[in-house]
Structure 1
Amino acid sequence: MHKEAELIHQKNILMLKILWGFFTIANIINLLVEGKLAPVYPLAGLILLTLLTGVVLQKRWPSFTMMLTVCFLFVFFYFLITGDPYLPNFIFMALAPLLSLFYHDFRAVLLSGILFILSSIYYFFAYQDVLFPGFQGREVSYLISFGAFITVFSIIHTRLTRSLWRRAGQSEERLRTILDSVSIGIWTFDLSTMQIEVSDGFEQLTGFSPKVFQTNSQQINEMIYPEDREIFKEFQQEMIFGRSSAICEYRIVCRNGTVKWVQNRGMPYFNHLNHMVRLEGVMIDITDRKQMEETIEHLAYHDELTGLPNRTLFSKRFEEYANQGKFSLAILFIDLNDFKEVNDTFGHDAGDLLLKDIAGRLTSIVREQDMVCRLGGDEFLVLLVDIDESRVVKVADRIKASLSEGYLYQGYRLTAGASIGFCVAPSGTGDLEEMIRQADEAMYGAKKSRVRQYLSQQEKVASHEI
């Protein structure tokens, strides 16, 4: 059934209940006042209400049933007034147009207004002596004017109400579109029942249907990435014990196994006694934002061409080790030989590919705790941790051997050796800038003399033959 038809059907059911209520109350009042039931009204009303009940419960023609219900209102008052032509009964008939407003439907409102005017004219002339003693025939115009006023008022009221509903529906649709586009789930946790209710957005966000959360209140905890569960625990404690709103960001494992970053914003709600009754909040998918942040952070600390750490990240890592003061540190300064000739002969594309290949070779030689950094151009730095000078020499030999193997580019074999200088701080507390400067000097010495040079902070520059 269409959404609007379903709404009309629900209103038909409620209107049917109202009619049964009026019918029962009217008979009770009649019994109490007159001491007996009216001879026609109860039976006719019972038959008509039973027929109307059958039509309503059929749920097949909601709009037709709505119009039939409006007509039945006036049939109801017809039997009431003709059975007992009493002015209060006529006045109660004015409730019919007001009850038709319940539908907020122009058809029901207009039909009710017309039936009220026609009924008023009929009762005025049929029961003028009883209902309107002393009134002249022309004074029926007052009843017609009153009926017209009620009809116009009902139409205006219906129009305004439907306009507000339409705007609210449009706003709701826009909000739903926004919520769907940003993957937002709304949640409510009842502290008295310890049950959680979530919106449909949770299914799009997590892959789990709202029913899963209703049957298992721990699902919202179980789907949190194990390493981030403490973050969520602190988030809950801040709301409950701190009695304030809280925000946290953590990872969740979706139903299909994918990992997403979410931001959870929650706040406690209190009753009139200032007792906390529930927690409410929204969960937002921030995976794209996190990935963007990671990308920006990576670009801030890594060389764009080779993907190696840049000078900034290299300095941070060195400071971390230097502050610990537990390990000896060594800095290797590597400068490629004949790299300019490769660029001039084969172009910058060849040079870029050569730098990427060299970056990969350097990374494969050092250990996980070590770090390779592209300083710029054809210069590289290597940080070696917990190592003595003899082992530094071995690493330098391996680097020179690897870089001298040559490279293939479009069928051509390229060669790019390297000059290496290094500086060792046995105590692990050296100054980075000074160590780089000394390693740079050693490298230039090696480039000039074609021998490998190294420098210790405790010794002067010494040289060894390649």
Structure 2
Amino acid sequence: MPSRHNTGLEVFNVSLLSSPADYSQLFALAPVSLWLEDFSGLKRLFDRWRAEGISDLRAHVAVHPECLAECAASLQVLEVNQRTLELFGASSQAQLLTNLSQVFRGDMLDHLAQQMLPMWEGQLGFAVQTVNYTLDGRRLDVQVQARVLQGHEEHWDRVMVSLQDITQELQSSRLLAASEQHARNLFDCSPVSLWVEDFSAVKRLIDDVRLRGIEDFRTFINVHPEFVSRCMQEIRVIDVNQQTLTMFGAQNKVELLAGLGKVFQGEMRDSFAEQLIELWQGKTTLMREVVNYRLSGDLVNIHMQFAVLPGHLADWDLVLVSLVDITARKKAEAYLEYLGKHDSLTQLRNRAFYMDELNRLSRKGPWPVSVLVMDLNGLKQINDEHGHVAGDALLRRAGEVFSKVAAPQACVARTGGDEFAMLLPGTDDRGALATIDRIHSILELNNQFYSGHKLSIAIGMATCTSSDQLEAALIRADRAMYVEKTRYYQEQHIERRGHGG
């Protein structure tokens, strides 16, 4: 007999029927496959085993699996109904019974123990799920329920077996399970960090604010910042994938969820406040760049996509959040931006930034503005005699000197090959002269620190008090620098036409 599972179908009790004719008609026309069988041989086999001292059938079968074939051989099929013939593709009962070995095959004997054990333990039936085969070889997944009929409890010579075809149901279940597993694999193996979250409590909080008559939500959260914190606390994380653990440096989900306070900190609150405003406005699909942190404390730049899943728009109880680590891209962008504003050799601002700053100062000040124009002395001679590597070293040293002198609001830039400028907003003549003194002091220390070529700088200064004077101040500073440069060469007895720089 096949192994069997509870179908929920109770086998009828023949004692309730008024006559044998009623029984015969009900049996023959039942819409479920019915088998009338004789288990008396199995009963006698059990009695013999007990007499031989066998008390644990499960252990006996484990040691003597061949006894299952003996159990199967002891069962006798007396009659089947029309639905059984249709189900197994038999033209007659004789054809079906002659070919039972085709119906009950494969791992049938392995499952047989499942249906025999309940009866060994004193029950008068069993319910199991198993696999049978039609006469043309088609697989049938079936649920089977058996019951010793009333009046036959002593010998088990009449047992009613009902068999229900659940092949289609199981196929649908298997397809659903495979689909779910496929979706799970896509989730777990995604190269993007995925979070499944429940925002239903957040929605209730937002809806409550609406019911209170609040219309300007931005002003509301500015006045009540604790509302944003409350919403952050009410988000429930349902699941995360492996990439999420990798991205945030967590060994497992428990560790990550316990450390969410480390992940979402700092400026994350302001970003979440903006997200709440978009949700208030009815947007349930959002994209933005945010900053999170690994459990180690390292900053992670994130491109976040947020979507309330279809079918959950009423409650926001299922939200998918995807996070892409764009830290490398942000660093590249920052570096490109840095290169666009800085001189790569000296690390000072470049000429383009210097010109933009001049334009800004001419519009906004603050006044007075002092300008220093500076030029390296003797750079061409060093390049000619010792090579550009030596000259570049001097330029880098000049960058070090100017960087140490410049105040935060100052702009110091390399404006040409050996030319530099420093803009000092809000600085008068006295402040500019103090800056020049600091340059000379640090320049002296620099020359003491570095052996080899001495660094020398010619500096010109001018101050203006309004926008219309700025260009003239630049010209005066440039001329003053050339005066200083001429004095340097005269003192050094160097012919500039021969050596330049």
Band of TM-score, shorter chain: 0.5 to 0.7
Q: Residue 188 of structure 1 is aligned with which of 182, 194, 197? A: 197
SS where residue 307 of structure 1 aligns? Answer: coil
Q: Which residue of 2 aligns with 1:443?
A: 481
CA distance in 1, matches of 2:413, 2:290: 31
User: How is 1:32-47 mapped onto 2 (pairs within 5 angstroms)?
Assistant: 34=23, 40=38
Residue 458 of structure 2, aligned match among 404, 419, 426: 419
Equivalent positions of 1:52-91 (< 5 A) are 82-91=77-86
CA distance in 2: counterparts of 1:426 and 1:42, whole angstroms? 118
| Residue 194 (structure 1) shift | 4.8
- Hey, what does 1:289 align to over in structure 2? 329
Q: Cα deviation per residue 1:106-125 (whole Å; 9 max; x = unaligned)?
A: xxxxxx99823999xxxxxx
Amino acid in structure 2 at the alignment position of 1:211: V
Which position in structure 1 is the counterpart of 2:283? 243
Quick check: 1:184–1:284 contact (8 Å CA) kept in 2? yes
Q: C-alpha separation between the residues in 2 aligned to 1:439 and 1:241?
A: 57
Matched, 1:150 2:142: no
Q: Tell me the secondary structure at the aligned position of residue 11 of structure 2.
A: helix
Change (3 A) 1:28 1:326: farther
Match of 1:115 among 78, 86, 102: 102
Q: Does 1:207 align with 2:216?
A: no
Distance of aligned partners of 1:400 and 1:250 in 2 relative to their CA distance in 1, 3 Å threshold: same
Q: Deviations over 1:105-144 (max 9, x none)?
A: xxxxxxx99823999xxxxxxxxxxxxxxxxxxxxxxxxx
Q: Secondary structure at the match of 2:336?
A: helix
Q: Distance in 1 between matches of 2:468 and 2:319?
A: 53
Q: Which residue of structure 1 aligns with residue 385 of structure 2? A: 345
Offset at residue 301 of structure 1 (A): 0.8
| CA distance 1:244–1:221, shift in 2 (3 Å) | farther
The residue that corresponds to 1:264 in the other structure is 304
Q: Distance in 1 between matches of 2:312 and 2:456?
A: 79
Distance, in Å, in 2 between the alignment partners of 1:212 and 1:431 is 64
Structure 1 pair 293–329 and aligned structure 2 pair: CA distance change class (3 A): same
After TM superposition, list the pairs within 5 Å mapping 1:394-413 onto structure 2: 394-403=434-443, 407=447, 413=452
Q: Which residue does the alignment assign to 1:51?
A: none
The 1:310–1:408 alpha-carbon spacing in structure 2 relative to 1, beyond 3 Å, is: same
1:234 aligns with 2:274: yes
Structure 1: runs of 5 or more not aligned: 1-14, 49-53, 96-111, 120-144, 452-466
Instruction: Give the Cα separation in 2 of the matches to 1:399 and 1:231.
Output: 43
Q: Deviation per CA, 1:165-189, whole angstroms, max 9, x where unpaired? A: 79x96x987886660xxx5233332
Task: State the number of aligned residues.
Answer: 356
**How far has the Cα of 1:228 moved from its partner?**
3.6
Give, in whole Å, the separation in 2 of the partners of 1:243 and 1:354.
58
Note if contact 2:354-2:415 (Cα within 8 Å) is conserved in structure 1. Answer: no
Q: Structure 2: where are the runs of 5+ without partners?
A: 18-22, 28-34, 47-56, 91-98, 107-132, 140-166, 202-233, 490-501
Query: CA–CA distance in 2 between the matches of 1:44 and 1:266?
Result: 64
How far 1:213 sits from its partner (Å)?
6.2
SS in structure 2 of the partner of residue 239 of structure 1: helix
Q: Which has the higher helix share?
A: 1
SS in 2 for 1:312: helix
Percent identity between matched residues is: 19
Superposed displacement of residue 25, structure 1:
2.4
Change (3 A) 1:370 1:86: same
- Change in Cα spacing, 1:227 to 1:315, as seen in structure 2 (3 Å) is farther
Q: Is the 8 A contact 1:30 1:38 kept in 2?
A: no
Match in the other structure for 1:25: 9
Q: Secondary structure at the match of 1:443?
A: helix
Q: Which has the higher contact order (CA 8 A, sep 6+)?
A: 2
Cα distance, 1:318–1:87 mapped onto 2, change above 3 Å: same
Q: Quote the RMSD (CA, aligned, Å).
A: 4.9
Q: What is the alpha-carbon distance in structure 1 between the residues aligned to residue 373 and residue 408 of structure 2? A: 19
Shift, 1:268, TM fit: 2.3
